Amino acid sequence: MSDLLQTVRGLAKKTDSKILMVVLDGVGGLPMTVNGETELATAKTPNLDALARESQLGQVELIGAGITPGSGPGHLSLFGYDPLHYLVGRGALSAVGIGVKLNKGDVAVRGNFATLGADRIVEDRRAGRPSDEKNAEVVARLKTAIPEIDGVPVEIYTESEHRFVVVFRAGNGGDLGANLSDVDPQTTGVQPMTATAHDAPSEKTAALVNAFVQRAEEALGDDPQVNGVLFRGYSDVPHFPSFEDAYQLNAACIASYPMYKGLASLVGMEVLDVEGEEDALDGKVQALTRHWAEYDFFFLHIKKTDSTGEDGDFAAKVKKIELFDALLPRLLALQPDVFCVVGDHSTPSKLSAHSWHPVPVLIHSEYGRKDAAVRYTEEEAARGSLGLRRGTDLMPLLMANALKLNKYGA
């Protein structure tokens, strides 16, 4: 357990106050033109604006200056787990999120279905974001084509849209290593990369991954859109200190995407059932309302602010922000003692990718000091009283505002 987490663990106390943390995935942005406005600043957000005028704002760096966070490290940081100390690959998060049990020596990996052109050039890293039904069809084909590789059982699972999960089972063949390079180049116009082991235990895993890629391309070669696979985020069985033990919180997760449910599950949050698709925000509010009396900490995840940024669709990201703003009064009607809005990283439409830019954070409680910020935007957050913080500072701040921390020292 890291020093800060250990310190907070020793100060945490149980109270009746409730904390609601809303993570607008990838919410931070950039202007498309010099001196233009970001997606947040462009969006019409009367409810967020009103809340900002009664809250404390600041900025959060999830890992450190100039370092672009993945979604896993970004969320770990928000939950108070130093992502430089607690490492987990995306494969394990996705696997656990869809209910797959990992055993010692197994390796899970997150996959993207992709569109490959002539000479295996990556044309679309997400294969046009196929439907979940199409995803399931492709997974079924791969299960038939690749049940095992060199005697190692291979399990393939649908996640959502272009995402899927592969688990290589160690079985009697000895433990598999997870220290190898990605196949996903995370750009288009180039070929997929070849997986390379970084240590001896991972050499067999690298061979399995490269064989899977080849056989998948052979099996999917007649599909003009979903005809390749890209891998990143290898991981074996991860272990984390309990969220409840660290913070004395009975915590619940409300999310749709398996990776985020997996991360919440790994730290010990209860993952609640949500009706409807990811874009159907009403199901998330219903789940929150239905279980409000049962928990004292809620993590509510909103994904599409990230997806639209990754697609480079500025207008669509603005619309997703505005949809959240319309939802906000229903969340505030529950009267959480501490309400927080934050992102796990920035995903500017200008870059169509995650970026290193700090994300704005808003904390509303009755114990906040006067703040100069009047909107929940990047520019206004830079004026806020919370200043520039590390992501791991957020949970102690929420705990303090909820009066859930004892004094440190005499």
pLDDT of residue 276: 73
Q: Which of 6, 19, 49 is closest to 292 using CA atoms?
A: 19
Task: Give the chain's mean pLDDT.
Answer: 93
Chain mean position to CA 200 = 30
> Over pLDDT 70: what percentage of the chain?
98
Residue 279 has pLDDT above 70, yes or no: no
Sign for the pseudo-dihedral over CA of 46, 47, 53, 59: negative
pLDDT of residue 240: 82
Residue 32 has pLDDT above 80, yes or no: yes
Whole-model pTM: value is 0.78
pLDDT of residue 173: 66
pLDDT of residue 89: 75
Question: What is the tens place of the pLDDT at every residue in 144-178?
Answer: 999 999 999 999 999 888 999 999 998 766 789 99
Phi, psi (rounded to 5 degrees) for 167: -120, 120
Residue 278 has pLDDT above 80, yes or no: no
Residue 101's pLDDT band, with cuts at 50, 70 and 90, is confident
- Burial (CB < 10 A; 0-12, 13-18, 19+), residue 46, is exposed
What structural domains does the chain harbor?
3-86+241-401 (3.40.720.10), 94-235 (3.30.70)
pLDDT of residue 335: 97
User: Strand 338-342 and strand 359-364: pairing?
Assistant: antiparallel
> Over pLDDT 90: what percentage of the chain?
80
CA 114 to CA 129: how far, in whole Å? 9
